[in-house]
Structure 1
Amino acid sequence: MAERLRVAVCDDDEAALGIISSSLKDVFAAHGIDATTSLFPSAQELSQAMPTRRYDLLLLDIDMPGLDGITFAKQLREQCDRVDIMYISNREDKVFDSLRVSPVGFIRKSRFLSDMSEVVGTYLEQRRGRHSQSTVMLRDSDAVYPVRVDQISYIEGQRKYQAVHVEGRNSPIVLRRTMGELERDLADEGFIRIHKGYLVNYRFIEVVGSGEVRLTNGEALPVSRRKENETREKLLEFVQDNDRIVF
């Protein structure tokens, strides 16, 4: 049975909506994906539909009257909505602004056909990779917990013990390990040491600046002054290497 994806396309150009939807279905079909697309002429209308509909991917224009695509996406992230977002736009100058909401791709309207095929193909590879994400075994004094790496938001140092914060758990898993050991073990998994007491999964970082790292769940963690620029550089490196933003 073909994999099914629910996709919302939002663009204030009515003609563009039809073209994007048709091209998307063709690309998805070429990868064995049965995609259902819903079309929205404004971010306001999409916003109204979101509470009652679940989408796997949002394809957003950036320049739209009223609520633009980046502002709308920021609102979703503030609500801890981690739906996949892809941009399709003429505003190539907005690529780095869009990184704040962790998009899975950027399609240039000026190179629509080639970008559509490449970016959507890359996204599907990433999606399959995420679904087979590696699992680590976390052992505390009472039990062993299998946890997917992409569910660990950050690790907080507590002297001889480290508290591992996992998405969906009410309390952290406490390990008797050093922060240095965990930093070494998770170096290739996208974790950034932002402070002597914090190791953060890049996938959860929304903003770095003003002495703090803000996460997608709204939490703010301190970043040391000497590590702020390094954190930005590593974040961009992980995004480019792992999420492969194309623009």
Structure 2
Amino acid sequence: MIQIAIVDDQTEAISGILSVFQQWEKENHVYFEIDTYTDADLFCDAIFDKKYQALFLDLDMPKKSGFDISQFLRELGNNTPIVYITNRDDLMQKAFQYKVLGFVRKDKIQEELPFAISCVVQEIQKKNSHVMIFAAHRQKKEYYNLPVSDILYIESENHQTKIYTVSTKDAIITRDSLRSYMEKEEFQGFIPISVSCIVNIEHIFSIEKDTLVLDNKKVLFISRRKVKSVKEMFQQKTRRNII
């Protein structure tokens, strides 16, 4: 079962959200274990003992807003996918600084929430996807079973393929070619930013002119020929997140 939390100060709103989840479960045969909170402070206390796979947060709460909770989680290094639920369209732009997965309007909950739930399930499935990497060392053979979601980018340099991840300090050097990774189904979420580098689009924080910034603040240069296509793909992803 997928473990999620819903945080909304209005019990009536929570009931409406739960009814949509129940209908989605019946139609898709994927099931959730759901904790609900009407008090943002109680949720922030509980997060230390809970391992939620996704969060559905109301933005308009009296004690802490959904933004306050998001900031609190990011400061803890918690990158759990978030879907915001609110009536305020004007907050949509601010929402994406927290790498929000989706944005659902309360007055369209029946129409928009099912799609948001589907996006959450797909995101969790991607995070659970692993790939076996054979590292090239002179003295020993070493294998890594890496979550694809942990890979930041892969680049080819000096006849070596280097894999950079969120969990390893140094690059993993492999004998496999960059093209071999580009052809794997697990790497469909990676975009080429040059002939020698592909980047996990989920880790792109922003794009400015001919550079992109990853969520670990690493800056990568985009080749002139790839700038337009990279920006378009990133914008498409951002628009998909606006449920």
In the alignment, is residue 90 of structure 1 matched against residue 92 of structure 2? no
Conservation of the 8 A alpha-carbon contact between 1:107 and 1:116: yes
**Contact 1:195-1:222 within 8 A present in 2 as well:** no
Q: TM-score, normalized by length of structure 1?
A: 0.73
TM-score, normalised to structure 2, is: 0.74
In the TM superposition, what are the counterparts of 1:137-176 in structure 2 within 5 Å?
137-141=133-137, 142-143=140-141, 144-156=143-155, 158-175=157-174
Q: Give the deviation of 1:200 after TM superposition.
A: 2.0
Query: 2:150, 2:157 → 1: CA distance?
Result: 20
Residues 169, 229 of structure 1: alpha-carbon distance in 2 compared, 3 angstrom cutoff: same
Tell me what 1:28 maps to: 25
SS in 2 for 1:63: coil
Identical aligned residues as a percent: 21
Residue 58 of structure 1 and its aligned partner are, at CA, apart by 0.6
Gaps of 5+ in 1: none
Q: Name which of 38, 48, 52 aligns with 1:51.
A: 48
Code of the residue aligned with 1:204 in structure 2: it is H
1:1-247 matches, cutoff 5 A? 4-65=1-62, 67-124=64-121, 126-127=122-123, 129-130=125-126, 133=129, 135=131, 137-141=133-137, 142-143=140-141, 144-156=143-155, 158-175=157-174, 181=179, 185=183, 189-194=188-193, 199-209=198-208, 213-216=212-215, 218-224=216-222, 226=224, 231-238=230-237, 244-245=240-241, 247=243
Q: Provide the rounded CA distance (Å) in 2 between the counterparts of 1:146 and 1:7.
A: 26
CA positional deviation for 1:201: 0.8
Question: Structure 1 runs of 4+ off > 6 angstroms?
Answer: none
When the two structures are aligned, how many residues end up with a matched partner? Answer: 238
Where structure 2 has 5 or more consecutive residues not aligned to the other structure, the ranges are none
